Amino acid sequence: MRDVLAIRDLYLNVAGKAVLYGLSLAIPAGEIHVIMGRNGSGKSSLLHALVGQIPVASGAVTLDGESLLELPQEVIARKGLFLAFQMPVALPGVTVTQLLRAALQARQEKGKLFNHMQFHDDLEAAMELMGMDPSWANRHVNDGFSGGERKRCEMLQAIMLKPKYVLLDEIDSGLDVDATGIMVNAIRLLQRRGTGILIVTHHSRWLEALNPNGVHLLSDGVILRSGDMELARTIELEGFQAVQ
């Protein structure tokens, strides 16, 4: 059976308000899927629910056949689910190197020595891919970073941690043309590794280079329509009303 992040008949309430009504979606390993929808449609809430930050009212979420519901957030992360935040927080006093080393060591098998040399080689290669100067390694995480720099730092973490599935919440916001190209290359790298990728975005043009396997319209708490890049193009040109 192919590995998949599966969401089935998911109901979600946020601050006492119903947000999702029986949403179902599957993201197979190695595929790129995109969710689009109006502001307030529940896109970000869905991602936060998948990593355990918002309790699920009912339904099922499984990662490669194993239920994620009721698991602590850190356990979900160790099992291979990574969320790149829409608005990443700053961690003054914690360098990028310290954060990544600690995260990788936390996932290290007991009794296995941590390879510090390999870690630094991998970090150097990942930072080069993300267009980061080597000095970034000693910067405090997101402290004084621009919006675009924070998004690059989120993707750097995804590359280094090598999760099974990556959730990207408006990873394109705040990026200029060059930075968008760097982000596309990073997502392609994840896909080549076999990572399943779910992208939440309001814009489709930057997705052209990724050619996603599926584009899904979230409306009224459910996936109203699914298609390919043609659906995303229609939304970009004509708005949501044209496809509802």
Q: Which residues pair with 165 in a beta bridge?
A: 81, 196
Quote the pLDDT of residue 165.
Answer: 98
Question: What three-state secondary structure class fits 101?
Answer: helix
Does residue 16 or residue 164 have the better pLDDT? 164
Asked, for residue 238, whether it belongs to a domain, the answer is yes
Report the CATH number that the domain containing residue 45 is assigned in CATH: 3.40.50.300
d(Cα 140, Cα 99) in Å, to the nearest integer? 9
Residue 169 predicted with pLDDT over 90? yes
Which helix (H) or strand (E) segment holds residue 32: the answer is strand 32-36
Tokens of 234: 């229609």
The answer to whether the CB of 56 falls within 8 A of the CB of 14 is no
Quote the pLDDT of residue 109.
Answer: 80
Cα distances (angstroms) measured from residue 161 to each of 49, 157, 227: 21, 6, 30
d(Cα 171, Cα 24) in Å, to the nearest integer? 23
Between 116-129 and 96-106, two packed helices, what is the crossing angle to 10 degrees? 120
Asked, for residue 96, whether it belongs to a domain, the answer is no
CB contact set of 98 (below 8 Å; sequence gap of 6+): none
Enter the pTM of the model.
0.94
Asked, for residue 103, whether it belongs to a domain, the answer is no
Asked, for residue 111, whether it belongs to a domain, the answer is no
Query: In this predicted model, what pLDDT tens digit does every residue of 128-157 receive, in sequence order?
Result: 999 999 999 999 999 999 999 999 999 999
Q: Which residues pair with 14 in a beta bridge?
A: 17
% of the chain beyond a pLDDT of 70: 99
At position 178, the amino acid (one-letter code) is: D
Asked, for residue 34, whether it belongs to a domain, the answer is yes
d(Cα 171, Cα 200) in Å, to the nearest integer? 8
Asked, for residue 114, whether it belongs to a domain, the answer is no
Average pLDDT over all residues of the chain:
93
d(Cα 151, Cα 201) in Å, to the nearest integer? 13
Query: In this predicted model, what pLDDT tens digit does every residue of 230-241 receive, in sequence order?
Result: 999 998 888 888
Range scoring the smallest mean pLDDT among 65-74, 108-117, 189-198? 108-117
> Torsions phi, psi of 68, nearest 5?
-100, -15
Average pLDDT for residues 40-60, to the nearest whole number? 93
d(Cα 216, Cα 200) in Å, to the nearest integer? 10
Residue 71: give the domain boundaries: 4-91+164-243
Asked, for residue 58, whether it belongs to a domain, the answer is yes
Domain count, the chain: 1
Query: In this predicted model, what pLDDT tens digit does every residue of 194-239 receive, in sequence order?
Result: 999 999 998 888 999 999 999 999 998 899 999 999 999 998 888 8
Angle (CA) 186 6 63, round 5°? 75
Asked, for residue 113, whether it belongs to a domain, the answer is no
